[in-house]
Structures are given as structure tokens and as C-alpha cells.
A and B are shown apart, each in its own frame.
Chain A
Amino acid sequence: MYLSDDFKQELSRRKFLHRAIVILGGMIGMVLSGIGIGYFISPVLGKKREDWVDLGPVAAIALDVPVKLEFVERRRDSWVTNEKRSSVWVLTSNGKDFIAFDPHCTHLGCPYRWDEVKQRFLCPCHNAVFAADGRVVSGPPPRALDRFPVRVKAGRLSIRPQVEEKV
């Protein structure tokens, strides 16, 4: 009783309109700014793209010796598509399981090469030496060679030329 009387007394036309404006205006403001905020933070919400690069048939890759394979990486950078010539060192012992090394030394990013005689990866910059499986043998590198994710599908090898984790 008191409550309803109070209510009647309090909710004058002016107060009702004031409330309606605040509530409706607030809702409009919230929807609009919510959309704006969503737009602004959308980089956080997007899924990570998976860009697999085909390296050709598995059968063409020699066993037990690191092979350097060249490829063209087509990477989408927002609205720009970049083509980058790149390479990877691929190693397999059975033609089924593959290891793909980032062709840059883990010390300072110099490109290294495979030495047939010594059976080691040698980096010319600071005399880093890695074993065939990527282990550091000697020199300044802080960790073994970085690896790219590898996938074999329908007899073709593909990699994702991004280092996932630096061990």
C-alpha cells in the first residue's frame, strides 16, 4: 500500500521520461560501444591461421642425410599477400617420420650449412656446430636447432614454417 502510493507519487512524468532517456540512451550507448570494442579487440579473438607449405613427394627425399629444400612461402599479412623465398633442412631416417629444421642458427639467426665430411651442421658466423638431429655440439647457441611442424599427407610432405616453441 505504502509502496504503491510512494511509487505513484515518485514516478512523475518528468521522472519517467528522465529514466526512460537514461535507460534507452544507456542501452544504445552500450550496444554501440560494445560493437566498437569488439572491432578494436578483434585481433585477440581471431583464430590462428594454419599455413601449411607443400614440399613435394615424400619419396623424393633422401634417407639419413639432411636435405635442404627450397620453397615459396605465401603468407597473408592482413590485406597483403607476401611471397617469400625460403628454405628448410629436412631429415628422415625411414621416409615416414620427418624432422624439419628452421634454417637459421639459434644463436643469432645466421644460415648454416651441412658438412658432408664432418657430418655436422656448421654455422659460419660464430663457429656453431650442431649434430644431424639438431643438438648443439659446440659453440655459442643457447639451444638445439628450432623445428617446424611437419605433416605427411597422401605421400606429400608439408611444413608450417613458423617455430612453435623454442626449446
Chain B
Amino acid sequence: MILQWLDERTGFSSVWQTLFVRKIPEAKGLTAWAYTLGSATLFIFIVQAVTGALLAMNYVPSPEHAYDSLRFIDEKVLWGAFVRGLHHWGATLMVILTGLHMVRVYFMGAYKYPREMTWVVGVALLLLVFGFGFTGYLLPWDQKAYWSTVVGVNMAGQVPILGPYLAKVLMGGDDMGAATLTRFYALHVLVLPMISVAMVGTHLFLVVWHGISEPPEQKRDPGAAGR
């Protein structure tokens, strides 16, 4: 009753139909598993968003309190260490999964016409994942975080001509410090997520719009699904 009322006014069932009850290529074994990498990445992305929001409830992006607030999460908050662990390992898994997903698309030739823009947006998403990794790594504000970001900023400083300016913009000043931490935090929890949501939306839209490409070795049946 209520569902029908809602459906008449929102059309969610046809949206559901388009998203989840669509034809996908037949695949077996390892090939079939390779097709799950994109969904797996999306799942980890959602886990990162949720655990990230939870961590942000207690984390303070200031040199005095950053590390103490993380210790508070680890020691005082219920399952805090586990949630932080999920976010930590999810970040690593994100890089691995996006890489594997990309390899899958590359070796199956799935980036070819008409899916070039899906690939381009996907590469942008890969860069965003690296951006998340780089900005998130600084946030614990321990020795490892600090010095690896120093190295990262020095790398940016090596860019010809623009390098020194780039490094200053990254650090939010002449040296690594409080401004660097707040800057990285803002990028990590506001700027990058907003861009990511838009990009993930575009990526998924294109995936549904074009349908999933068939595995290359499969025999083509002109009547079969898959454009």
C-alpha cells in the first residue's frame, strides 16, 4: 500500500529495476570474480565514508590534540579502535581494489568505445583515492605521519618552476605545522569527498548507461545483451 503510493510518486521501482535487475554478461570462475572489483571498491568507499564520519566526531585537527584525540578514540570510545582500524585498512584496500579494478578493465579492453568517459572518470577517481591517502596519512600527527608528509611536500617542491609555490600551498605556509594539518583535514573530509561523490555518481551512471562489457574471449551472439 504505502510502497505503491510511494512508487507512483517517485518511480523508485523502475530506478531499482534499471540499477539492479539489468542484464550483465555471463562469466565464470576468475573472470566472474574480476567483475566484482568495482562493486567491492564502492562498498569500501561507503565503509570509509561511514567510519570517517564516526572518527570525525572525536578527532581534532590541531597539533596539540590530534594524537590525543586518536588515543581517546582507541582507548575510551566503544569499538573506537576497531572503527579506526576499519578506516585505516579500508584506505589500503581502496588503493589495492581500485588498482585491480583498473587492471581488469584494461586487460578486458572494457575502456574502449563507447566507455571511454567511464575510464576517464575512473582515472580521476583513482587520483582522488591517492589524494585521500595522502591527506589522511598526515592526520594522526605522529612521527610517521609528519615525516612522510614532509617527503610528500618535498616531492611536490621538485616540480619545475611551480614547485616551491606548490609546496607552500600544500603546507599552508612556509613550514609544516598547524595550518598544514587543518588544510589536509579540510581536503580530506570536505573537498575530496564532495568531488568523489560527484565522480562516483557519474561513474556509476555511465556504467549503468552503457551496460557492462562482455569478457573479450566470449563468442559473440548478435542477439545477446551487452552493447
Taking Cβ atoms with an 8 Å cutoff, the residues of A that contact B are 32, 35-36, 38-42, 45-46, 78-80
Contacts and interface: CB of A to CB of B under 8 A. Distances in A.
A78 B83 contact: no
Interface in B59-81: 60, 65, 68-69, 71-72, 76-80
A79 B83 contact: no
Contacts of A45: 78
Majority secondary structure of chain A interface residues (helix, strand, loop or mixed): helix
Given A32-B50, A38-B79, 15 more contacts: A35-B82, A35-B83, A36-B83, A39-B54, A39-B78, A39-B80, A41-B78, A42-B78, A42-B80, A78-B58, A78-B69, A79-B58, A79-B60, A79-B72, A80-B68
Interface string B44-66: 00010011001001101000010
Nearest to A81: B68
Query: Which interface residue of A35, A41, A45 has the most chain B CB atoms within 10 A?
Result: A35
27 contacts: A32-B47, A35-B79, A35-B82, A35-B86, A36-B50, A36-B51, A36-B54, A38-B78, A38-B79, A39-B54, A39-B77, A39-B79, A39-B83, A40-B54, A40-B57, A42-B77, A42-B78, A42-B79, A46-B76, A46-B78, A78-B58, A78-B69, A78-B76, A79-B58, A79-B69, A79-B72, A80-B68
B52 to A, nearest CB: 11
Contacts of A46: 76, 78
Contacts of B65: 79-80
Interface in B92-150: none
Contacts of A39: 54, 77-80, 83
Nearest to A40: B54
A78 B72 contact: yes
A83 B68 CA distance: 17
Contacts of B54: 36, 39-40
A35 B82 CA distance: 8
Interface string B158-197: 0000000000000000000000000000000000000000
Contacts of B58: 78-79
Interface of B: 47, 50-51, 54, 57-58, 60, 65, 68-69, 71-72, 76-80, 82-83, 86
Nearest to B54: A39
List the 10 shortest-distance A-B pairs measured between CB atoms, nearest first.
A42-B78, A79-B68, A79-B72, A79-B69, A38-B78, A35-B79, A38-B79, A39-B54, A39-B83, A42-B77
A78 B74 CA distance: 12
Nearest to A41: B78
Contacts of A79: 58, 60, 65, 68-69, 71-72
Nearest to A25: B43
Contacts of B80: 39, 42
A38 B79 CA distance: 7
Contacts of A32: 47, 50
A38 B54 CA distance: 10
A149 B77 CA distance: 28
A128 B47 CA distance: 58
A9 B54 CA distance: 46
Contacts of A41: 78
A142 to B, nearest CB: 36
A39 B82 CA distance: 9
A79 B51 CA distance: 20
A35 B83 CA distance: 8
Contacts of B86: 35
A40 to B, nearest CB: 7
B98 to A, nearest CB: 21
